[in-house]
Amino acid sequence: MKRKKVDDSESVRQMQTILYEEIHKVRELVTIRKPFTSEVPFNDDRKIFKTNIHMPFSDRKILITYSGMIVCGCDLDKIRLAREDNHIKILVPHSRILDCYADVKSFKISYQDAGLLAKDFQIEEQNALIKADLEKRQREAVQKGLLTEANEEVRQMLANIIERRGLNQNFDVQIVFLRQGNSQIITASQNFLRGD
């Protein structure tokens, strides 16, 4: 169906106001909460002083399992409208990972073995392993299309608002995601361990 050309900029302002009222109640939209479980293997040994030679009976191996959560969403404060004749583009920032954390209540040592001369396994080492694993899980989730899935959730939410409020009656409305930046993966902060 061909829409007639609309010159009324008041209609655009009204559309913008309605859309902003709807979405800015939310500010940061969480579209996906993806739970996961992970296994983190670790092994090392001690070296003879000032050499790279393995010290007998100093091997240590551990396997940690835990559950975590990746949270994706979109910063709705950055949504903008662009008008070209009777076409309206809703410019939306790409979804990104908002949070990623490990549930400390789920931590389990599945396997542990240490030689007589092995160093004790420190909590700082465990935290460093979990932190690195969380970043690995995020990269894998992005490669498997988690952010694309989150974008589709945002698109559907906006399409529902547009349809429900009748914002597409006088305009061809198109939802366009802005070019993606490099900040898809967050670095685990000091609160990457949670006991939810």
Segments making up each domain of the chain, as ranges:
9-194
Query: Which pLDDT score, from 0 to 100, does residue 196 have?
Result: 63
Q: What is the pLDDT of residues 94-112, one digit of tens each?
A: 999 999 999 999 999 888 8
Residue 25 burial (C-beta neighbours within 10 Å; 0-12, 13-18, 19+): exposed
Q: Is the pTM of this model over 0.75?
A: yes
pLDDT band with cut points at 50, 70 and 90 for residue 147: very high
CB-neighbour burial class of residue 5 (10 A; exposed 0-12, middle 13-18, buried 19+):
exposed
Question: Which amino acid is present at 160?
Answer: N
pLDDT above 70 for 8: no
Beta bridge partners of 44: 60
pLDDT for position 166: 82
Q: State pLDDT tens for residues 158-183.
A: 898 888 888 788 778 899 998 776 56
Q: What value does the mean pLDDT of the chain take? A: 83
CA dihedral over 169, 164, 77, 96, signed as positive or negative? negative
pLDDT at 26: 61
Q: Is the pLDDT of residue 131 over 80?
A: yes
Give Rg (Cα) of the chain: 25
pLDDT tens figures, 33-42: 999 999 999 8
Phi-psi region of 112 (alpha: psi -120 to 50; beta: other; left: phi over 0): beta
The confidence score (pLDDT) of residue 66 equals 95
Calculate ∠ Cα 95-13-91, nearest 5°.
20
How far apart are the C-alpha atoms of 192 and 130, rounded to whole Å?
Answer: 9
Helix axes 123-143, 146-164, angle to 10 degrees: 60
